[in-house]
C-alpha cells in the first residue's frame, strides 16, 4: 500500500536539483511541440542513450510517439524565461524563441536558449503509471559551453561557478 501522497513525493524530488531541458518534436503534420523537462537521465554510453519521463497527457509526447524522434535542448543560465514558456499552456511557444531544424530528423533545436542540444531516435518506450519513459539513442550533438540553468527547491537558478565549460563553440559532432 502506498503511504506517500503526491505532494510528499514532489517535495522529495524538489530536493534533487537538476539541469533544465526543453524536449522538442514534430507531429505528423510537421508542427513543432516542446515542453520543459527535468526528468532527463543518461542510460548507456554504448549505444549513447538517454531517457526522459513524459506525462501521458503531453502534446509533446504525442508528437514523439507519432514521429519517432525528439531533441533535447539543455538550457543556459539566462534562459529561465524559455523554461517557463515551455512549461505554460501557451499555444505559440516556437514564435517566441529562436530555433532551427536538427541535422538528421529536423526536430527543433532552440538556438537562442540552449547551451547543448542533441537529436535522438526513439529506441524504446515504456508506459509507467501516468508517464511514459522514452529512451532515445543520441545521433547528433552540439554545444556552446555556456553555463547551464539549474532547477531545485521549485526554483530556477544559475550555475554557481559562473564562466564557461571548455567546449568547442557551436561545434556539431556525432553522438558518442
Ligand X SMILES: Cc1cc2nc3c(=O)[nH]c(=O)nc-3n(C[C@H](O)[C@H](O)[C@H](O)COP(=O)(O)O)c2cc1C
**What's the grid cell of residue 38?**
527535468
Cβ 130 to ligand X shortest distance, Å: 9
Given the C-alpha cell 557551436, which residue does it identify?
170
Positive/negative CA dihedral, 94, 76, 151, 25: positive
* Residue 59 is a binding residue for ligand X (CB under 6 A): yes
# chain residues binding ligand X, by CB under 6 A: 16
Residues in the chain: 176
Cβ 39 to ligand X shortest distance, Å: 3
Cβ 104 to ligand X shortest distance, Å: 22
Binding-site string for ligand X from residue 60 to residue 79, where x marks contact by CB under 6 A and - marks none: x-------------------
**Nearest CB to ligand X, comparing residues 33 and 143:** 33
Using CB under 6 A, pick the residue from 37, 79, 142, 149 that binds ligand X.
37
Binding-site string for ligand X from residue 72 to residue 111, where x marks contact by CB under 6 A and - marks none: --------------xx------------------------
* Residue 54 is a binding residue for ligand X (CB under 6 A): yes
Using CB under 6 A, pick the residue from 55, 103, 121, 167 that binds ligand X.
55
**Pair 170, 142: CB distance under 8 Å:** yes
**Pair 101, 107: CB distance under 8 Å:** yes
Interstrand relation of 21-26 and 69-75 (parallel, antiparallel or unpaired): antiparallel
Q: Cite the beta strand spans of the chain per DSSP E.
A: 18-19, 21-26, 32-37, 40-44, 49-55, 69-75, 100-101, 108-109, 114-128, 131-143, 149-152, 155-158, 171-174
Interacting span for ligand X (CB under 6 A) from 32-40, 43-51, 113-121, 165-173 = 32-40
Residues that bind ligand X (CB under 6 A): 20, 33, 35-39, 53-55, 58-60, 86-87, 151
Amino acid at each position: 500500500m502506498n503511504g506517500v501522497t503526491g505532494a510528499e513525493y514532489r517535495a522529495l524530488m524538489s530536493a534533487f536539483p537538476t539541469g533544465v531541458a526543453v524536449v522538442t518534436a514534430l507531429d505528423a503534420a510537421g508542427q513543432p511541440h516542446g515542453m520543459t523537462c527535468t526528468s532527463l537521465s543518461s542510460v548507456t554510453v554504448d549505444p549513447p542513450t538517454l531517457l526522459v519521463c513524459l506525462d501521458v497527457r503531453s502534446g509533446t509526447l504525442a508528437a514523439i510517439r507519432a514521429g519517432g524522434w525528439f531533441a533535447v535542448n539543455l538550457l543556459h543560465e539566462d534562459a529561465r524565461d524559455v523554461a517557463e514558456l515551455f512549461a505554460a499552456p501557451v499555444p505559440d511557444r516556437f514564435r517566441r524563441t529562436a530555433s532551427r531544424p536538427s541535422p538528421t530528423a529536423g526536430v527543433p533545436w532552440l538556438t537562442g536558449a540552449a547551451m547543448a542540444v542533441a537529436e535522438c531516435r526513439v529506441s524504446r518506450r515504456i508506459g509507467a503509471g501516468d508517464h511514459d519513459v522514452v529512451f532515445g539513442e543520441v545521433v547528433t550533438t552540439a554545444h556552446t559551453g555556456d553555463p547551464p540553468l539549474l532547477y531545485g527547491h521549485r526554483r530556477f537558478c544559475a550555475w554557481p561557478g559562473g564562466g564557461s565549460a571548455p567546449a568547442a563553440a557551436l561545434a556539431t559532432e556525432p553522438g558518442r
